[in-house]
Chains A and B, each alone.
Chain A
């Protein structure tokens, strides 16, 4: 579970976050919607421990992120909007580094990395330096690093932006699987369709404040899990007949 309490953050005179309080329970996928500059990325960076809040607190699985950052970050995964890497490391070396720092079992981590790389269409490129990757591939590596350790809390900042169809479906599956295992997911996106399909609840941010919260029942079913276009595309790349 993640709990944000009275979170505030300013950039000079601009109030980017204004007393935001939010709870994401284990097993719940919460969408974060808002216009550009509404404070979504600031909220996620602050919740990920990348920037300190001016006020308020962040609790990750009951641990105060800013008082006890290391145990809190052990339980946290963060997929950034504009991920940064050690550009000269290969994708696999980068993920091995992340797994090493997190103290994961090397055999389990390697197995999971290869399995995720297969699902995200990265297997053939895992030994190339990240510097050579396209924007979408960089985002995939960032997402893989965020979910590698099966975190208790997952923060996704426009995480699926730039993904191809196959990877977007795999990512949704992965997020749902993590949530089913008890992970609390906070998911920011501009794409309302993704949020409609994926999330159990939506929090709307406006000028740094929580303006509205909607439960899934408010927008109902978002239609089929896989759209006609997605199905046709998948049948093409997998070499199976379409509809």
Chain B
């Protein structure tokens, strides 16, 4: 299905323009943030991998280290490939972004190839995970061997990405009706995408009398359970709540400090804070998905909006605390009480911060950046001066709450 180079030249140009325009969308601050984030992830992976790899080197020699790094990098390449396959298959089953492709005098194969190119861009995320492990192996593996491993990773990532898009296309083709399979495969996929996109139906609406904030809450629940960005955001807090509770299933061990009761409590608390942070991001995403012209045309005040989103935050804090209360059996009652109080207060503070930023900043990316920045500052303050992070967090919650009435002044166009 690959187009010839001459036929593909408009797409080559298109890809160049798309990459340039997408990069141009990142302002300097965002570029610095992304670079810092990639560097932090790399540093974290280095921190996690360096000591164990050094132990392997001492016990089994440099070749074993090279083999472990190669296996890790191969897993990254395969994992990235699986995500790319999922993205590509999902995209082929919905309407492709861009112009009305089928109306253009183009072979359908070129359009499918273009969609595959879009899906393969995600390989950059996989590539960002590799440097931490490669750098961790410097000095433990001979440099030429490490270079070979790194080059092999790049080749494997490229191959996995291409194999992933190929397999996604085969899967989509295989799931089609026989009549459509008679068409040119690429054309069939694009036609199928349009047909699939037009077949969705929802169950009958639920008409009921309720306060406005409950109607908003019900709408939020509906959106969070449908294929939206909000639902994607909700996956992380759910996983982290489960993780923070599942930690207590590990048998406490006095030999290894990490898995002692105190260690488990630390891990559960950290996972719960991460769950609260990702739930706050979910709330920001929900606010960003609110069409201003819909909500501001309705008789809604900032208080009603706040109440509907705060209800979600409170419900989440209750679920998180209840999960810990049930799971954290190894803790003494007094220690459990302290954990629950801290956890509930911290969860409420973090999630309410998300509610406030989401409501007052209007744009989800800006609100996400403010949320991240505030929490990073709070964490840094906590590391420098004990408990200072909480002061920063509560100050941010109070300060942002004062901006909530501004919600009523947000505009569709400025």
In the complex, A70 has a CB within 8 A of chain B: yes
A52, B210: Cβ atoms under 8 Å? Answer: no
Within 8 A of A (CB), among B355-414: 408-409, 411-414
Contact partner, A100, options B204, B215, B228, Cβ 8 Å: B215
The total of interchain contacts (Cβ-Cβ below 8 angstroms) comes to 115
In the complex, A45 has a CB within 8 A of chain B: yes
Question: What's the nearest-Cβ distance from chain A to residue B288, in Å?
Answer: 12
Chain B residues near A48: list those with CB within 8 A.
297
In the complex, A193 has a CB within 8 A of chain B: no
Chain B residues near A90: list those with CB within 8 A.
201-202, 205
Contact A106 to B209, CB < 8 A, known contacts A86-B223, A86-B291, A92-B204: yes
Within 8 A of A (CB), among B307-349: none
Question: What's the nearest-Cβ distance from chain B to residue A114, in Å?
Answer: 10
Contact partner, B205, options A49, A92, A132, Cβ 8 Å: A92
Interface membership of chain A positions 49-92, coded 1 if the CB is closer than 8 angstroms to chain B and 0 otherwise: 11110000000000000000111111010101001111011101
A88, B222: Cβ atoms under 8 Å? Answer: yes
B228, A88: Cβ atoms under 8 Å? Answer: yes
Interface-facing stretch out of B244-252, B257-265, B298-306: B298-306
B293, A84: Cβ atoms under 8 Å? Answer: yes
Interface residues on A, range: 35 or more
Contact partner, B226, options A88, A95, A106, A110, Cβ 8 Å: A88
In the complex, A173 has a CB within 8 A of chain B: no
Chain B residues near A50: list those with CB within 8 A.
292-293, 296-297, 411-412
Within 8 A of A (CB), among B203-243: 203-210, 212, 214-216, 218-219, 222-223, 226-228
Residue of A nearest to B295 (CB): A101
Residue of B nearest to A96 (CB): B205
Within 8 A of A (CB), among B167-220: 197-198, 200-210, 212, 214-216, 218-219
B208, A85: Cβ atoms under 8 Å? Answer: no
Contact A86 to B294, CB < 8 A, known contacts A50-B412, A100-B212: yes
Question: What's the nearest-Cβ distance from chain A to residue B285, in Å?
Answer: 13
A101, B412: Cβ atoms under 8 Å? Answer: no
In the complex, B267 has a CB within 8 A of chain A: no
B207, A107: Cβ atoms under 8 Å? Answer: yes
In the complex, B109 has a CB within 8 A of chain A: no
In angstroms, Cα B225 to Cα A86, docked, is: 13
Contact A89 to B209, CB < 8 A, known contacts A45-B412, A73-B299: no
A85, B301: Cβ atoms under 8 Å? Answer: no
Question: What's the nearest-Cβ distance from chain B to residue A141, in Å?
Answer: 11
Chain B binding surface SS class: loop
B297, A96: Cβ atoms under 8 Å? Answer: no
Within 8 A of B (CB), among A88-115: 88-90, 92-93, 95-103, 105-107, 109-110
Chain B residues near A51: list those with CB within 8 A.
411-413
Within 8 A of A (CB), among B279-296: 289, 291-294, 296
Contact partner, B209, options A49, A93, A105, Cβ 8 Å: A105
A83, B219: Cβ atoms under 8 Å? Answer: no
B227, A88: Cβ atoms under 8 Å? Answer: yes
B200, A128: Cβ atoms under 8 Å? Answer: yes
Contact partner, B200, options A74, A100, A129, Cβ 8 Å: A129
Chain B residues near A95: list those with CB within 8 A.
205
Chain B residues near A49: list those with CB within 8 A.
296-297
Residue of A nearest to B200 (CB): A129
In angstroms, Cα B294 to Cα A78, docked, is: 9
Interface membership of chain A positions 117-144, coded 1 if the CB is closer than 8 angstroms to chain B and 0 otherwise: 0000000001111001000000000000
A84, B291: Cβ atoms under 8 Å? Answer: yes
In angstroms, Cα B407 to Cα A52, docked, is: 12
Contact partner, B289, options A74, A86, A110, A129, Cβ 8 Å: A86
A127, B204: Cβ atoms under 8 Å? Answer: yes
In angstroms, Cα B299 to Cα A92, docked, is: 19
Chain A residues near B207: list those with CB within 8 A.
96, 99, 106-107, 109-110
A96, B202: Cβ atoms under 8 Å? Answer: no
In angstroms, Cα B301 to Cα A72, docked, is: 12
A98, B293: Cβ atoms under 8 Å? Answer: no
Residue of B nearest to A79 (CB): B297
Contact partner, A101, options B198, B206, B216, B223, Cβ 8 Å: B216
In angstroms, Cα B408 to Cα A72, docked, is: 14
Chain B residues near A129: list those with CB within 8 A.
200, 202, 226
Chain A residues near B291: list those with CB within 8 A.
84-86
Contact partner, A103, options B201, B212, B301, Cβ 8 Å: B212
If A45-B293, A84-B292 are given as contacts, then 12 extra A-B residue pairs at C-beta distance below 8 Å, sorted by A number, are: A45-B412, A86-B219, A88-B222, A88-B226, A96-B205, A97-B218, A98-B298, A100-B210, A101-B300, A105-B209, A127-B203, A128-B200
The 5 A-B residue pairs with the shortest CB-CB distance, nearest first, are A100-B215, A84-B291, A90-B202, A92-B205, A73-B299
Interface residues of A (CB under 8 A from B): 11, 45, 48-52, 69-74, 76, 78, 80, 83-86, 88-90, 92-93, 95-103, 105-107, 109-110, 126-129, 132
A-B contact pairs, 24 of them (CB 8 A): A45-B413, A48-B297, A50-B293, A50-B297, A50-B411, A69-B301, A70-B299, A70-B300, A76-B297, A80-B297, A84-B294, A85-B294, A86-B223, A89-B223, A92-B202, A93-B222, A100-B209, A106-B207, A106-B209, A109-B207, A127-B205, A128-B201, A129-B200, A132-B198
